[in-house]
Structures are given as C-alpha cells and as structure tokens.
Amino acid sequence: MSSFKIFIVEDDRFYGELLKRHLQLNPENEVYLYLTGKDCLTNLHLKPDMISLDYRLPDFSGDSILKKVHFDYPDLPIVIVSGQEDVKTAVYLLKEGAYDYFVKDQDTQDRLWNVANKIRENKQLKREINVLKEEVGKKYNFANIKGNSTAIKNVFSLMDRALKARITVSIIGETGTGKELVAKAIHYNSTRANQPFVAVNVAAIPSELIESELFGYEKGAFTGANARKIGKFEQANGGTIFLDEIGEMSLNMQSKLLRVLQENELSRLGGNTLIKLDVRLIVSTHKNLADEVKAGNFREDLYYRLLGLPIELPPLRQRGSDIIVLAKYFTDEFCGANNLPTKSISLKAQEKLMSYGYPGNVRELKAVIELAVVLSDTAEIDPESINFNTTDSISNFLLNECTLEEYNKRIVSYFLEKNDNNVVVTAKKLNIGKSTIYRMLKNHEIG
C-alpha cells in the first residue's frame, strides 16, 4: 500500500515533533514537520494527503495558508490546530474549506490520529470507487477475449454458463493465457457488475502475511497493528474475489480459507466479531490441483470446494489462426496508445508468427508484437521485426518485469547500436530530442 503523507505545520518544534512521533506509530504514515508557512508551501510538490496547520505562524496566518493551498489543491484536507478557543474563527475557517478545527489540549494527539485515519479511509474508498468506474468503463465482455477458434468458443460457452448461477469458477491454464481477463469478464457481465472486483495474487504475498491480507486485522492484533485493516474478502463483499495462483497457498492457510468458505463469514485477526460474507469466488492456477492433492500439497476437501465450474484456457499454440487475430488486435492497440500510424502485418510475418510455440502464450505474443511495432521501419511489419524469446533477442526485455524507465533505456541503447551510435538518426527514429540521448549517455544510463 502507498504511504499516506501528512504535513505538520507548527512553529513550536517540540510540540510538532510530539505530534509527528505519534502519527508515525502507523507505519503507513509518512510525516513531515515544517516550522513556517513558507516551508509548507515550498514543499507542496510532495503532494501531501493531509495538512495539520497551526493557526498562528510567524510568517503567515492560518486562513492565509488555507487559501493559498486550496488555490492549487482545492480537495486537500487541512486541519486547523489553534492555541485559542475562538468559535467565530472556527466557523469562518470551516466555511473557507478547512476539514476540521480544534484547540490544542491533552487530546490533540488522539484527535489528530482519528482525523488522519478518517481521511485515509476516505481516500482509499475514493480510490476503490475510481478503480471500479475504470473497470466498468472498460466494458469487459466476451469480445475482449479475441479469437474464433473452436477452443476459445468452448471457453465462451462455459463463461456464459458461469453467468447464470452463483457457482465458484476455477480457471486452469498456463501462465499468460488470460486467466484474470476471463475472471473480469465473468464478473462484469454478471449481476455483481456494479460491486467490487478484488484480485489477489496468492503467489505474490509472503505466507506470513496472507492471512491478514485476506481477512484483515484489528488494532493491536500484533506488534505494528496500530489501526484496523480491512481484508480483501471484506473489500469484495457483495462482489467477486479472484484468487490467482491458488495452488501456491500453504496447507495451513488452506484450512483457514476452507472454514471461511464453508461458513460464509470471517473474523479479523485479533477480533471476535463475525462478519457475514456474500462473495463470488473465482480461482485460477497453472498447476494440476488433482496432482497436487495426490502429492499432499493441497487439501482434498478444499479442492472439491473450489472446483465448481472448471474453465480450462487453451494454450496459444492450440488456437490456430487466433494468433493472427490477436496479433492484429495488439498492433492496433499499441499504435493507438502511442499515437503511431496504424501498421499491417505482412504475410511472411504472419507465417513466422504462426510457426512459433509461444511458451508465454498470449502475454508473450503481446510483447513480441509491441516490440515488432517499435522495430518496424515501414507501415508493414516484416518478418525481421518479429523477435522471439532467444537468449540474445531484445524481445527478452519485454518478457521480463522492468520499470518503464528501464524499458526506455534498453530501446534507446538498441537503436543507438543499430544506427552505429549516430545520435541524430536515433533521435529522429524514436521521435525524441537529441539532448535526451546525450543526457542518458553522460549519466551512463546507456552506452
């Protein structure tokens, strides 16, 4: 989870440090202390989530700072902390847009703590609503899963059946076949479309943290639990939870998950309150869970609980001409997203695409096509621009998980080498400034 940034603007350093240390008891809080209004205004580029503002500062008044901040950041919550109890001033500041106003006393630390928690929860709620709107806006439907092959049509048929009943869906398929896309398509075409879709990659969460991630915890449940945390199941209540790579879950956690699924309720770690659940469950795995049961790695009772309606996604190598359908779709999508002229795929390039086995499936094809668009010099992608996953191929960098900055460096390096280190030609080819490449060379970012 991203940090929650708090500015404390207080000219009394001792008192400011006291408030800062108290708020930092929550490890999610990133707290900055400023002794003047000027320091606060100068650092607004850090984009705080909340400001605690002393009303009387040596250089600015509280209402002056309030107006200056809200001029550029009208939605930024500002809490006024005053040394004097003045109802008239409080009412004025609240009308001017202050989030809250209270007087310095022995309860200030706790009141500030509670306000910060409330603002953080509201921010998280807004983020979830925006994600939901974005996902619904994508209009996930079966047309988002491209292909005309018999194999993919069988998948469509099973997905259609999944919409007609609340049954657990288990999606089986190799890595890169599109398991999460299928899960989203089922959710956003179901009666739960306007409720949360929460995806959890079981393999990406350390085993000692997965219980608290799934079920949440109460304040004080363990060292460092300074505030209540809502778990993924609770976040998905009323909607759908997608447990990706369920086969990676430990046996101990499997037994706890089984109980929650049987009872349709949970209690947060450190709590006694039972929370009723109404959650549609979709799971996925690239493993054969039946084999995992025989090997003693997966509980048999949980296996049958999760099996529900199995949907097996075919590997790309078994989907025939779907490879070309997908390749054209990815070409158009990448060109559109990057404001590039539309490109076609030559017949020779199509033959090359059809001849490959795609161990990385649809995800690998997408990476290959995006790189081919970048490497192609003409309006038609030729076979030479199609690079598969060989040891020395530049396409490897798209199949690894890198930052966008790292991808940019690798692309520039590739074209510099291709153009005999001619900066002018490379800059023109990539439609970037020569100074950008010179700066990267000077800083040894490429070479």
Which CATH number do you get for residue 40? 3.40.50.2300
- CATH, residue 309: 3.40.50.300
Same structural domain for residues 155 and 277?
yes
Q: Report if residue 235 sits inside a domain.
A: yes
Q: Report if residue 247 sits inside a domain.
A: yes
Determine phi and psi for 393, rounding to 5 degrees. -75, 140
- Provide the pLDDT for residue 133: 57
Same structural domain for residues 149 and 261?
yes
Last residue of a domain, one of 314, 340, 362: 314
Q: Report if residue 75 sits inside a domain.
A: yes
- CATH, residue 437: 1.10.10
* Its pTM surpasses 0.85: no
Same structural domain for residues 329 and 306?
no
Same structural domain for residues 180 and 303?
yes
**pLDDT of 184 higher than 90:** yes
Same structural domain for residues 295 and 154?
yes
**pLDDT of 421 higher than 50:** yes
Lowest mean pLDDT among 131-140, 198-207, 323-332, 358-367: 131-140
Same structural domain for residues 224 and 238?
yes
User: What would the pLDDT profile of 315-331 be if each residue is shown by its tens digit?
Assistant: 999 999 999 999 999 99
Looking at residue 10, the DSSP 8-state letter turns out to be -
Q: Report if residue 131 sits inside a domain.
A: no
Same structural domain for residues 287 and 307?
yes
Q: Report if residue 16 sits inside a domain.
A: yes
Same structural domain for residues 200 and 300?
yes
Q: How far is CA 446 from CA 393, 397, 407, 433, 437, in A?
A: 18, 15, 11, 15, 9
* Short-list 216, 217, 211, 181, CA closest to 199: 181
Same structural domain for residues 295 and 393?
no
Last residue of a domain, one of 94, 126, 158: 126
Same structural domain for residues 117 and 164?
no
Residue in the block written with tokens 């080819």:
429
Last residue of a domain, one of 106, 126, 146: 126
List beta partners, residue 418: none
Q: Report if residue 132 sits inside a domain.
A: no
Q: Which domain holds residue 264?
A: 138-314
Angle between helices 434-442 and 404-418 (to 10 degrees): 100
Q: Report if residue 37 sits inside a domain.
A: yes
For the chain, give the percent of residues with pLDDT over 70: 92
Are 65 and 9 in contact by the 8 Å Cβ rule? The answer is: yes
Domain count, the chain: 4
Q: Give the number of other CB atoms < 10 A from CB of residue 443.
A: 9
> How far, rounded to the nearest angstrom, does the alpha carbon of residue 303 sit from its chain's CA centroid?
28
Q: Report if residue 57 sits inside a domain.
A: yes
User: What would the pLDDT profile of 200-241 be if each residue is shown by its tens digit?
Assistant: 999 888 888 899 999 999 988 888 888 888 999 999 999 999
Q: Residue 393's pLDDT band (boundaries 50, 70, 90)? A: very low
Same structural domain for residues 378 and 407?
no
Same structural domain for residues 392 and 408?
no
Determine phi and psi for 79, rounding to 5 degrees. -100, 125
